[in-house]
């Protein structure tokens, strides 16, 4: 049974946080007997760590949610350099394994996209591949979505990432016709050979846990959990 899920995207602001919060809301509502952990291995600038602490009762410290934190909202190697610090992935791995052993289910949200640098020589795709993390790719619905999906899946395969599926995400209000035109499921699946598990609608209030749980329940999550 799937115990850990790595959520990455095609780039920054693809919708990783929306999917992570929706999945967490779903798990806490429909599987309350299972203990949940959420992790953002590295964070640069204010953002996801604070949101997860606000929305969910995780029984986790700040450093257990985000083992490495940098002030500048930049790629980690650049943010770390501004603080004269190094990126110690050993600290991240230690926190990850502790959470994985103590929780029934662990959601790990990546930083940036699959090609984003984690260190000067290591990308998000490298981390997902070497740590053997079952992964979902979030693709924002917009012109260019097909190209972004194809390129990201190619990078994932090169890094030997265990890619379970693709989630489409509407970053703004869209009609069904726009979604079908910009992110046609059949075309994306045909080129990537990865199943599209559903589409997240645009949310005016991305902190509404009941709504988040509902939209997650409309996705093909059985392909992840079974």
Catalogue the active-site residues.
40
- Lookup: tokens for 204: 């005016």
Tell me the CA distances in angstroms from 13 to 39, 113, 138, 141, one per residue in order: 17, 9, 10, 11
Please enumerate in sequence order all residues whose Cβ is within 8 A of that of 190, keeping only pairs 6 or more positions apart, or say none: none
With contact defined as beta carbons under 8 Å apart, do 182 and 151 qualify?
Answer: no
Write the secondary structure of 127-149 as one string of H (helix), E (strand) and C (coil): HHHHCCCCEEEEEECCCCHHHHH
69 bridge partner residues: 43
The closest alpha carbon to 121, from 86, 165, 156, belongs to 86
The closest alpha carbon to 34, from 76, 2, 65, belongs to 2
Up-side HSE of residue 50: CA atoms within 13 Å toward CB? Answer: 5
With contact defined as beta carbons under 8 Å apart, do 32 and 40 qualify?
Answer: no
- Lookup: tokens for 195: 């199943």
């Amino acid at each position: 049974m799937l115990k850990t899920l790595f959520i990455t995207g095609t780039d920054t602001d693809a919708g990783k946080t929306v999917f992570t919060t929706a999945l967490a809301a779903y798990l806490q509502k429909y599987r309350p007997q299972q203990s949940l952990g959420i992790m953002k291995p590295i964070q640069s600038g204010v953002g996801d760590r604070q949101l997860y602490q606000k929305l969910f009762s995780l029984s986790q410290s700040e450093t257990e949610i985000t083992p490495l934190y940098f002030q500048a909202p930049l790629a980690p190697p650049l943010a770390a350099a501004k603080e004269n610090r190094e990126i110690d992935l050993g600290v991240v791995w230690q926190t990850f394994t502790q959470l994985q052993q103590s929780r029934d289910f662990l959601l790990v949200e990546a930083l940036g996209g699959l090609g984003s640098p984690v260190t000067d020589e290591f990308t998000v795709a490298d981390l997902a591949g070497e740590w053997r993390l079952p992964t979902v790719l979030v693709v924002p619905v917009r012109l260019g979505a097909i190209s972004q999906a194809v390129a990201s899946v190619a990078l994932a395969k090169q890094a030997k990432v265990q890619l379970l599926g693709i989630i489409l995400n509407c970053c703004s209000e869209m009609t069904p016709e726009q979604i079908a035109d910009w992110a046609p499921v059949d075309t994306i699946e045909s080129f990537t050979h990865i199943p599209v598990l559903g589409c997240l609608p645009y949310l005016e209030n991305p902190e509404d846990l009941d709504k988040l749980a509902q939209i997650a329940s409309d996705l093909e999550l059985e392909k992840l959990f079974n």
